[in-house]
Amino acid sequence: MAKRTIPYSMFDHEGHGLAAKNARVLERVYHKGHKHAWDGKAVLDALIETHGKPALDERTKQALGRVFSIIMWGELAAWRISAELADELEPLEAKMAATSQAFDEARHFYVMHDYLEVLGYTPERIHKGAQKLLEGVMNADNLAKKLLGMQLMVEPVALTLFHVIKELDVEPVLTALMPYYERDEARHVALGLQYLPALLQRMSVKERLELFAFQFRLLNYEIFTNYYIMRDLEFLNVPPRKLIDTGKAKQLRALEEVFSSLSMDAKLPTMFLDRYADTLTELTLPLADDGWKGRLQRTFDVLRHGSVSTVNVPIAPTITDAETPLIQSQAKRATRSTRTKRVKRTSRSTAA
């Protein structure tokens, strides 16, 4: 194990290739995380009190449980990865942002576990593709791969699923819970967008190609995981094709932002990823069910010419205070409690 030392260079932005504006964004991520933190147990209890204990038929419960057990284990992976990043990243602001994310992911994990428990579903081992995806990011051999894998690959897909499930209103407690997750996850993407460029600047051509190959592997695992849970998604009225197309669009947009911040043209790498993902998606999740001959023909056409469908979505959603009212009520209670304590201390001091 490498010997740990005090990172005296953590304030040297120029030495780490971190632009001052990026550092300010990452610092704000930490403070926003502190401001918008929510008490997971209190929020879940309040939502259950408002909407009633989740009561679904067995088929729906199993489908929803299988999909969100992947989310639950994904939150655990994100918790571990962000904790590692908080330790390994040297610049102060990046370390602060990763620390804030670790706190959020811990909350996401235990709240999802508690929700599934209330639902009556016991999380089991997830599909091999999802497991390889999460373990691939957890065991990545450098910071760039961990940032790319978690912040720009896994998080956008999770954000897409949260939004779709919320819009479909599959179960009222889960529907009301999703904006709290979305608000946190929207902050997390910033760590990859703001710090990955600094890492890329210092990487050799060989290291960048290895990072690109790593992204391809993760893309494979994501598409095959989506294929595995396709029947559960369809049963819940979640279009699997829309889910993967929207998640991919968010990933590509994030990649374009990273390249843009380096004043590099993202057209070629994003075209390769886009074409490859569309080809694999058409093969596993076809737009039309007209037999293998029609599927193979469309797959070949996509490989040659690309897909005609385009999805234009923001990387992260904008979640308002109205969608997460319990955060504000908790903050008000905390403020009232602090004021009460101050009054009591002042009264005691005056009496003395």
Q: According to the model, what pLDDT value does residue 177 have?
A: 96
d(CA 24, CA 219): 31
DSSP state of 315: S
Give residues with Cβ within 8 angstroms of 48, minimum separation 6.
54, 118, 173
d(CA 97, CA 94): 5
Q: Which contacts (CB < 8 Å, 24+ apart) does range 38-41 have? A: 38/107, 38/180, 38/324, 38/326, 38/327, 38/330, 39/330, 40/107, 40/108, 40/110, 40/111, 40/114, 41/111, 41/114
Segments in the chain below pLDDT 50? 338, 343
Angle between helices 128-138 and 205-228 (to 10 degrees): 150
Tracing tokens 């308002």 back to the chain, one arrives at 320
Q: According to the model, what pLDDT value does residue 19 have?
A: 87
Q: What is the dihedral of CA 127, 130, 132, 133, to 10 degrees?
A: 180
Element of type H or E holding 346: helix 325-351
200, 258 Cβ separation under 8 angstroms: yes
Question: Could you read off the pLDDT of 235-284 as tens digits, one per residue?
Answer: 998 888 888 888 888 888 888 888 877 777 767 777 888 888 888 888 88
Q: According to the model, what pLDDT value does residue 301 have?
A: 84
d(CA 217, CA 212): 9
Q: According to the model, what pLDDT value does residue 283 have?
A: 84
Structural domains in the chain?
23-204 (1.10.620.20)
Instruction: Count Cβ atoms within 10 A of the Cβ of residue 341 and give its class: 0-12 exposed, 13-18 middle, 19 or more buried.
Output: exposed
HSE-up (13 A, CA, CB side) for residue 187: 31
d(CA 81, CA 68): 19
Q: According to the model, what pLDDT value does residue 252 have?
A: 83
Written as one string, the DSSP assignment of 101-116 is HHHHHHHHHHHHHHHH
Tracing tokens 């849970």 back to the chain, one arrives at 229
Written as one string, the DSSP assignment of 132-189 is HHHHHHHT-SSHHHHHHHIIIIIHHHHHHHHHHHHHHTSSHHHHHHHHHHHHHHHHHH
Question: Could you read off the pLDDT of 286-323 as tens digits, one per residue?
Answer: 777 777 788 888 888 888 877 766 667 778 888 888 99
Give residues with Cβ within 8 angstroms of 297, minimum separation 6.
none
Q: According to the model, what pLDDT value does residue 339 have?
A: 53
HSE-up (13 A, CA, CB side) for residue 346: 6
